[in-house]
A and B are shown apart, each in its own frame.
Chain A
Amino acid sequence: MIEWVNSIVQGVLTGGLYALFAAGLAIIFGVMRLVNIAHGDLIVLAAFVAMVTIETTGVDPFVSMVAVLPFMFFFGYVLQRGILNYTLGDDLLPPLLVTFGISIVIQNLLLEIFSADSQRLKAGPIEVSSVELVEGIELGTLPLIVFVIAVALIFALQIGFSRTRLGRAFRATSDDPSTARLMGINQKHIFGLAMAVSLVLVAIAGIFIGIRTNFDPALGPTRLLFAFEAVIIGGLGSMWGTLAGGVILGVAQNIGAKIDPGWQFLAGHIAFLVILVLRPNGLFPRTRDD
């Protein structure tokens, strides 16, 4: 019995990471109705950027964020203003196919530069330390930190969206782009900032993946699927829904893995499809996708 509880608890912790993947995807969908197929590959890219930073400067993965976060922020802004802004319009195809192309390019460039080998960001003794919650349930310090930071970030995002000037601009652009433009909001700039914020979350997620598990250039697509599933399970338009979606996905995967290791990801996907059939708008919908 306690093993099952343990599986669920570990799943909740993994879910925090998934919620972090999903938050970045949810922001850009919310602001500009863009589904970024390269999202997962950008997470992996951030992990590799962190790896290079750590190797060249010798800093700790957590410290590397000082360099990686601004880099990804800048990268996101340039990506949006240089390429993705030109794909936005009534037609769904261009953004989808362009981000799909970018995904393949990033994946193969990483493969060419870093080879297909599995990598890991070394975080020192914290990697193996853990806290015993009760008899039979041990929480890894690192997964716990990741979870707490993920929840804090999602909390901060929710506040940021409702309270700050930039958050208001995001919501205004999302609700009614043409009126927002009339009110003096530079839409292209706002979209650039939204992608930049999304990629900051991506960068944090990428570094956390790097210290929690192994990563390699081919990892992106499955992370995109996890992010996507968490967003849809939670329902569009609510950051707390996204967190819940990530946690449900993480728990489903861990329960699946407990039954049979081959069932880990399968169980997550099936949980997603079942929820999609039962609650097409997700569990906690705010906005509708049409």
Chain B
Amino acid sequence: MTSRVVHSTRASRIGMSVAAVLILVLLTVPWWGDRATMRLLVEIFYILALAQLWNLLAGYGGLVSVGQQAFIGLGGYLLFILVIFLDIGTIWTVPMAGILGAVISLPIAFIVFRLRGHYFAIGTWVVAEVFLLGFAQVKALGGGSGMSLPIAAIKSIAASRADRDATIYWLALALAVAVIAGIYLLLRSRYGLALTAIRDSEEASRSLGVDNFRAKLMVFILAAFGTSAIGALIYITKIRITPSAAFDINWTVTIIFIVVIGGIGSIEGPIVGTLIFFLLREPLAPYGTWYLILLGVTAVAVMLKAPKGLWGLFSERFDIALFPVQRRLLLGTDDKPG
């Protein structure tokens, strides 16, 4: 009887095939979809990517940040700075904002990593407030009233409006897919094993030789990289930026609710959460604050009754994982994987 360790299951192979088909279909949307659909999809893509990155931070790295809006706004402002003052092509600002965001995240980590657990959360929020208030003081960036992207910069994306919409759409899709694929591959690597160990017990992982600090720092920088790049993309679509909107805590509120309701600590969770968020938002948007109240109550209830979220309930019940990052030990070759 031989034993082996496997990642994939039948469900995950089906899941991967469905994901591949879905991505192919989504790629073709610019040829047949209307403008409103594309705009909605772009928003879904970037919120999904942000949720995945927050889940990587909080669900795997144990770094519960409520200050990720610092990097969204930073990415947005980097777009404007790079385009207006350094004359860089609009699309190229997305990867550059990511890299610069990662660089800036180092001194931030130096400060907030002094705070543990709960206090880390509020510390990141303070940093985001410093960014908000600080950018509002910079006259060259329009101060508190913000600024708009020059028309030339918008035109540089593509000549016609349809081509611009398509370019932005594909860019958003590519970012979302890259973030999910990147996190999936990271979690399946030995770094992922270290992160999962830290998530389950910091003491135990340290005793097994995991460098907790380094692993957490890596996650923090990666999340900053992705979030800043997405921030630049978001403000390409929005065209106008103000400090209070760019560094709004509500970015993080939305993301946290999505991850908690969908299921923290899994890749499927944020996907489920994002779908629920947009399905509820469309009919409930006119009720404004009641919608947020409903989301808040739901998130509290989920956290109390089903801490692994809706996806957690589902996957425990049926033992299904579409993006399995855990290793399964198969005893004997006649055992069929789930």
Contact A102 B289 (CB under 8 A): no
In the complex, what residues of B have CB within 8 A of residue A262's CB? 133, 136-137, 144
Which residue on chain A has the smallest CB distance to residue B253? A104
Which residue on chain B has the smallest CB distance to residue A221? B249
Name the interface residues of B291-309: CB closer than 8 Å to any CB of A: 292-293, 295-297, 299-300, 303-304, 307
Name the interface residues of B121-176: CB closer than 8 Å to any CB of A: 121-123, 125-127, 129-130, 133-134, 136-137, 144
* Residue B58, interface by CB 8 Å: yes
Contact B297 A273 (CB under 8 A): no
Task: Say what secondary structure dominates the interface of chain B.
Answer: helix
Contact A269 B62 (CB under 8 A): no
* Residue A4, interface by CB 8 Å: no
Contact B260 A97 (CB under 8 A): yes
Contact B299 A101 (CB under 8 A): yes
Contact A225 B126 (CB under 8 A): yes
Q: Pick the contact of B115 from A100, A263, A276 — CB < 8 Å?
A: A276
* Residue B290, interface by CB 8 Å: yes
Which residue on chain B has the smallest CB distance to residue A280? B114
In the complex, what residues of A have CB within 8 A of residue B136's CB? 262
Contact A105 B296 (CB under 8 A): yes
In the complex, what residues of B have CB within 8 A of residue A98's CB? 300, 303-304
Contact A276 B133 (CB under 8 A): no
* Residue B232, interface by CB 8 Å: no
A105 to B292, CA, bound (A): 7
A279 to B264, CA, bound (A): 34
Least CB distance, A245 to chain B, in whole angstroms: 13
In the complex, what residues of B have CB within 8 A of residue A221's CB? 125, 249
Contact B66 A232 (CB under 8 A): no
Contact A266 B121 (CB under 8 A): no
* Residue B92, interface by CB 8 Å: no
Name the interface residues of A199-247: CB closer than 8 Å to any CB of B: 221-222, 224-225, 228-229, 232
In the complex, what residues of A have CB within 8 A of residue B129's CB? 222, 225, 265, 269
In the complex, what residues of B have CB within 8 A of residue A260's CB? 137
Q: Which of B58, B129, B137, B249 lies at the interface centre, i.e. has the most chain A CB atoms within 10 A of its CB?
A: B129
Contact B300 A273 (CB under 8 A): no
Name the interface residues of A85-100: CB closer than 8 Å to any CB of B: 86-87, 91-98, 100
A95 to B118, CA, bound (A): 9
Count chain A residues whose beta carbon lies closer than 8 angstroms to a beta carbon of B: 46
* Residue B256, interface by CB 8 Å: yes
* Residue B27, interface by CB 8 Å: no
Name the interface residues of A69-90: CB closer than 8 Å to any CB of B: 83, 86-87
A177 to B117, CA, bound (A): 19
Contact with B along A265-288 (1 / 0, CB 8 A): 110011011001100100000000
Name the interface residues of A9-40: CB closer than 8 Å to any CB of B: 29, 33-35, 37
Least CB distance, A195 to chain B, in whole angstroms: 15
* Residue B111, interface by CB 8 Å: yes
Contact A100 B264 (CB under 8 A): no
* Residue B119, interface by CB 8 Å: yes
In the complex, what residues of A have CB within 8 A of residue B144's CB? 262
A276 to B125, CA, bound (A): 14
* Residue B13, interface by CB 8 Å: no
Contact A35 B299 (CB under 8 A): no
Name the interface residues of B96-119: CB closer than 8 Å to any CB of A: 110-111, 114-119
Given A229-B126, A269-B133: A101 in contact with B64 (beta carbons within 8 A) = no
A233 to B95, CA, bound (A): 37
Least CB distance, B135 to chain A, in whole angstroms: 11
Q: Pick the contact of A101 from B123, B127, B290, B300 — CB < 8 Å?
A: B300
Stretch from A48-56, A106-114, A131-139 at the B interface: A106-114
Given A100-B256, A221-B249: A92 in contact with B115 (beta carbons within 8 A) = no
Contact B300 A35 (CB under 8 A): no
In the complex, what residues of B have CB within 8 A of residue A83's CB? 300, 304
In the complex, what residues of B have CB within 8 A of residue A272's CB? 126
Least CB distance, B249 to chain A, in whole angstroms: 6
Q: Pick the contact of B122 from A224, A270, A273 — CB < 8 Å?
A: A224
A151 to B29, CA, bound (A): 64
A102 to B264, CA, bound (A): 18
Contact B122 A35 (CB under 8 A): yes
Contact B299 A97 (CB under 8 A): yes
Contact B133 A97 (CB under 8 A): no
Q: What are some 9 contacts across the A-B interface (CB < 8 A)?
A: A33-B118, A37-B121, A83-B304, A92-B117, A95-B118, A105-B297, A228-B126, A273-B111, A277-B114
CB-CB nearest 9 A-B residue pairs: A35-B118, A105-B296, A101-B300, A104-B296, A266-B133, A108-B289, A280-B114, A101-B299, A101-B296
Chain A interface residues (CB < 8 Å from chain B): 29, 33-35, 37, 83, 86-87, 91-98, 100-102, 104-105, 108-109, 111-112, 221-222, 224-225, 228-229, 232, 260, 262-263, 265-266, 269-270, 272-273, 276-277, 280, 289-290
Supply 10 further A-B pairs (C-beta < 8 A) apart from A91-B307, A100-B66, A229-B126: A37-B121, A92-B118, A97-B64, A101-B260, A104-B253, A105-B296, A105-B297, A112-B293, A232-B119, A277-B110
